[in-house]
């Protein structure tokens, strides 16, 4: 759907070429920053020399979150709705909160976990309204249906962002910006299945085995899921077990288990093996609640010091919690046919051998073990790639969300914090000590993380302003002596 307020993809040639900030990727992470900047009253500062929003999608705000089919969130409705609460939003989308059916539905069950497709719809609605407002009231330009190809960090600290219209890939264009907020989402690559198997010391999937990622499968409809796997299922008469192995032990792995059990139970799937390599952790609001469930709590490592929640970051919540409990107690997802076996391949030789057997006898293997970053190519002024520091498959960032290079130096002016990169727990963000991964979530993008990115972007712009002023003074001095020459400046490029 094309919005009237946005720049049409056809007119990409006419957008200004110089900005104070370019938002690359307007999914939940990028939009979280934008919502925060607006409600803090700082949008005009961020966009003081123009803000450009580029996304390869036409409809903005939900990213992949809205694409998952029949998947329930690992956050409750009220935490999504809280992202739309602020007095400054009243004039922008106050009516959504008052009259929108979907908003009303989520508000009616604030402590329930909603379907991600519905969350996505609501986030898109609010994001589109905010963008429309920003385009009208600030120096904001939008390029939908445009894909970023590469980002070059120039010697003067600015960024050249190369992009193309998805309908005309050959026609590349470029804009310049003082800062870049880049969140292009995460990737799971099917080629990583072999590496996952090697890490677990189990055989690689053989020929004829379907290998795929949970990220792609969770976006398929039930019919598409059946069409994917039914051709490799042996008929009942063949007396061979039809098993799919899932590698991973997080929310996605259990969500995937439910989708496979529900949709393929009637199509011939007999068994699902979930191979993981650290204990399955469950989330509880309080230590008392955990103990009432008979869950062993380590008070030092499992409890978040800020919220007192148990396994706040790593624990399975809501629907994934129910699926895990059902699998652990009944060996299947309640109400479905396939048996489900949980195998902690790191817990001993017997379990590793069992994992190896299951994988060898599977007709499908699903990678559900986290996401890497979907970064555009980042190069320096000579065109040489800037290698970024990766840990646990994601990009390391500093306290403002700036990525670190291999020498541990920050790439100044660049910010990334969505899926595949981002913040680790610290005293302000909080988390259980046992969790060492990265924090991603719509609510936190709109709150603490949004605040950090805004602080970082404003700091970078302030530093740029000082540097530019010094440059102008130096140029003016030169001009006095050399009779004047053109100066760089947004006014040169704008309408
Ligand atoms: C299965 C799953 C369930 C989750 N459930 C929840 C939940 O219930 N609650 C919660 O708070 N969090 C949840 N998360 C975590 C997190 O909030 C989401 O993953 C969130 O969607 C991440 O947002 P993002 O903006 O980083 O990435 P994305 O959603 O992938 O958005 C990236 C954006 O960048 C654009 N883009 C990509 N490449 C390019 C390019 N080259 N050029 C231009 N644009 C590009 C895309 O079109 C998209 O709009 C979940 C994550 C997963 C994987």
Using most ligand atoms within 8 A of CB, pick from 28, 183, 415 the residue to mutate for ligand 1: 28
> Is 455's pLDDT higher than 80?
yes
Task: From the CA of 54, give the closest atom in ligand 1.
Answer: 43
Separation of alpha carbons 170 and 87, rounded Å = 44
66 within ligand 1 shell (Cβ under 6 A)? no
> What pLDDT, on a 0 to 100 scale, did the predictor assign at position 293?
95
Calculate how far, in angstroms, residue 419's C-alpha sits from the geometric centre of ligand 1: 6
Report pLDDT digits (tens) over 312-329: 999 999 999 999 999 999
29 within ligand 1 shell (Cβ under 6 A)? yes
> Is 275's pLDDT higher than 90?
yes
The helix or strand, by DSSP H or E, that contains position 159, with its residue range, turns out to be strand 159-165
Angle, vertex CA 399, rays to CA 397 and CA 403, nearest 5 = 20
Calculate how far, in angstroms, residue 67's C-alpha sits from the geometric centre of ligand 1: 10
414 within ligand 1 shell (Cβ under 6 A)? no
Report pLDDT digits (tens) over 99-143: 999 999 999 999 999 999 999 999 999 999 999 999 999 999 999
| Phi (first) and psi of residue 170, to 5 degrees | -75, -25
Q: How many CA atoms does the CB half-sphere of 469 hold within 13 Å? A: 6
Choice among 10-14, 273-277, 285-289 with the minimum mean pLDDT: 10-14
> Is 11's pLDDT higher than 60?
no
> Is 385's pLDDT higher than 50?
yes
Does domain 192-280+316-367 fall under CATH 1.10.1740? My reply is no
Strand locations in 218-316 (E):
243-247, 271-276
Contacts 24+ apart (CB under 8 A), 318-323: 318/72, 318/73, 318/74, 318/76, 318/113, 319/72, 319/113, 319/255, 319/258, 320/72, 320/74, 320/251, 320/254, 320/255, 321/282, 321/283, 323/254, 323/255, 323/257, 323/258
Using most ligand atoms within 8 A of CB, pick from 174, 185, 370 the residue to mutate for ligand 1: 185
Task: From the CA of 444, give the closest atom in ligand 1.
Answer: 11
Q: How many CA atoms does the CB half-sphere of 267 hold within 13 Å? A: 20
User: What residue ranges do the domains of the chain occupy?
Assistant: 9-187+372-462, 192-280+316-367
184 within ligand 1 shell (Cβ under 6 A)? yes
pLDDT range class, residue 4, cuts 50, 70, 90: very low
Domain topology for 9-187+372-462: FAD/NAD(P)-binding domain (3.50.50)
Report pLDDT digits (tens) over 359-373: 999 999 999 999 999
Report pLDDT digits (tens) over 62-75: 999 999 999 999 99
């Amino acid at each position: 759907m094309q919005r009237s307020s946005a720049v049409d993809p056809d007119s990409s040639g006419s957008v200004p070429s110089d900005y104070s900030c370019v938002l690359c990727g307007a999914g939940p992470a990028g939009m979280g920053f934008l919502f925060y900047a607006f409600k803090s009253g700082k949008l005009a500062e961020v966009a003081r020399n123009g803000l450009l929003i580029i996304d390869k999608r036409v409809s903005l705000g939900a990213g992949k979150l809205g694409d998952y089919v029949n998947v329930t969130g690992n956050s409750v409705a009220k935490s999504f709705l809280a992202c739309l609460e602020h007095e400054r939003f009243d004039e922008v989308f106050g009516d959504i909160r008052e009259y929108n059916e979907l908003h009303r539905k989520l508000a009616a069950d604030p402590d329930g976990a909603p379907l991600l497709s519905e969350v996505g719809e609501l986030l898109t609605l609010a994001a589109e309204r905010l963008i429309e407002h920003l385009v009208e009231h600030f120096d904001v330009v939008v390029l939908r249906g445009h894909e970023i190809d590469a980002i070059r960090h120039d010697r003067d600290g600015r960024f050249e962002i190369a992009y193309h219209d998805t309908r005309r890939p050959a026609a590349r264009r470029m804009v310049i910006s003082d800062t870049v907020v880049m969140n292009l989402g995460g990737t799971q690559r099917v080629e990583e299945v072999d590496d996952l198997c090697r890490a677990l010391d189990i055989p690689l999937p053989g020929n004829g085995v379907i290998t795929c990622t949970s990220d792609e499968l969770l976006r398929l409809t039930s019919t598409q899921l059946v069409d994917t796997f039914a051709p490799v299922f042996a008929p009942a008469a063949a007396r061979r077990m039809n098993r799919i192995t899932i590698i991973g032990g997080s929310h996605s792995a259990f969500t995937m288990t439910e989708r496979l059990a529900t949709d393929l139970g009637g199509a011939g799937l007999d068994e699902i093996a979930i191979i993981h390599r650290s204990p399955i952790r469950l989330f509880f609001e309080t230590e008392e609640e955990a103990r009432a469930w008979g869950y062993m709590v380590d008070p030092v490592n499992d409890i978040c010091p800020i919220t007192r929640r148990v396994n706040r970051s790593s624990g399975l919540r809501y629907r994934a919690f129910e699926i895990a409990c059902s699998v652990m107690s009944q060996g299947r997802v309640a109400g479905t046919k396939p048996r489900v076996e949980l195998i902690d391949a790191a817990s001993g030789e017997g379990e590793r051998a069992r994992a190896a057997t299951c994988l060898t006898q599977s007709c499908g293997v699903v990678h559900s073990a986290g996401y890497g970053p979907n970064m555009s190519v980042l190069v320096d002024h000579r065109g040489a790639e800037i290698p970024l520091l990766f840990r646990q498959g994601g990009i390391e960032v500093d306290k403002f969300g700036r990525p670190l290079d291999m020498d541990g130096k920050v790439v100044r002016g660049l910010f990334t914090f969505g899926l595949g990169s981002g913040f680790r727990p610290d005293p302000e963000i909080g988390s259980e000590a046992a969790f060492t991964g990265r924090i991603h979530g719509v609510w936190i993008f709109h709150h603490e993380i949004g605040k950090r990115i805004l602080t970082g972007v404003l700091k970078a712009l302030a530093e740029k302003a000082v540097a530019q002023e010094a440059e102008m003074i130096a140029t003016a001095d030169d001009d006095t002596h050399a009779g004047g020459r053109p100066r760089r400046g947004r006014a040169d490029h704008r309408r």
